[in-house]
Amino acid sequence: MTDSPRHLPPERPEWRHSGRYLLLAAALHAAILFYPPSVAIDPLEAPPPGPITVSLQESVVAPPTIPPAAPEKPPAPKPLRHIKPAPPAPPILAMAAEQVAAPGAITVPAPVTPPGPPAPEAAPAPARSAAPATVSAPLFNAAYLNNPEPKYPSLSRRLGEEGKVLLRVRVRANGLAATVDIEKSSNFERLDEAARRSVAHWRFVPAKRGDEAIEATVIVPVVFRLDN
């Protein structure tokens, strides 16, 4: 018994399945075009305007960069000049020449000049004389001498006599008066004599030459006035 062949269902072509998919995709696109989706967008609230603050910032300018100076190149050494040594001089041959004296020639020696007198030596400069020492005059009015004033003659007071007497006093080195003479009178003899007798007993500061006390003369005025 032979097996009869089985009847298999006819195979569906694949293009049918793909056609369905294409129709489904076209329908979806059409639905999206006619019914677009609605999207709700919430409006954003802007913040209230606030004060604008502007801050000034000082721009710092960087100092220009100075490239370091290129080191100076040392000068190139000068080429040494080659100096050729001078050729040695040829030796000079000394030849003695014969000296023949002419007959009858007389040699006269040159006159010898006698040496002159020696130059006089310069006179030494005179020594500078020392400056003279300062001389100070005698003093009679020093406070420490305690010399008393001449007494006013009582008779001259009663008679109203007054005047000025100039006395020339020779003062010794010890400060005492050697002589007292009237250089100028007061025109009243009593006043002149009273002044001379008083000054003759005074002590004086002697005159000095440098630090040495010497004898000298001084003029002493004596005034007689009634209002004193």
pLDDT of residue 194: 96
The H or E element that residue 7 is part of is none
Beta strand 163-171 with 216-224: parallel, antiparallel or unpaired? antiparallel
Residue 198: predicted pLDDT:
95
CB atoms within 10 A of CB 195: 27
Residue 214: burial class (beta carbons within 10 Å; 0-12, 13-18, 19+): middle
Instruction: Give 218's contacts (C-beta < 8 A, 6+ positions apart).
Output: 137, 138, 139, 140, 168, 169, 171, 204, 207
User: 108 is written with which tokens?
Assistant: 């006269």
Look up residue 157 and give its amino acid: R
Residue 195 DSSP SS3: helix
Structure tokens at 151: 């007494």
Q: Confirm if 167 and 183 have CB atoms less than 8 A apart.
A: yes
List, run by run, the mean pLDDT of 10-residue segments along the chain (228 residues): 50 55 72 55 49 44 57 62 60 43 40 60 64 85 87 94 96 95 96 96 94 94 89
How many other C-beta atoms can be found within 10 angstroms of the C-beta atom of residue 56?
Answer: 5
- Residue 15, pLDDT score: 44
> Structural domains in the chain?
135-224 (3.30.2420.10)
Record the pTM.
0.42
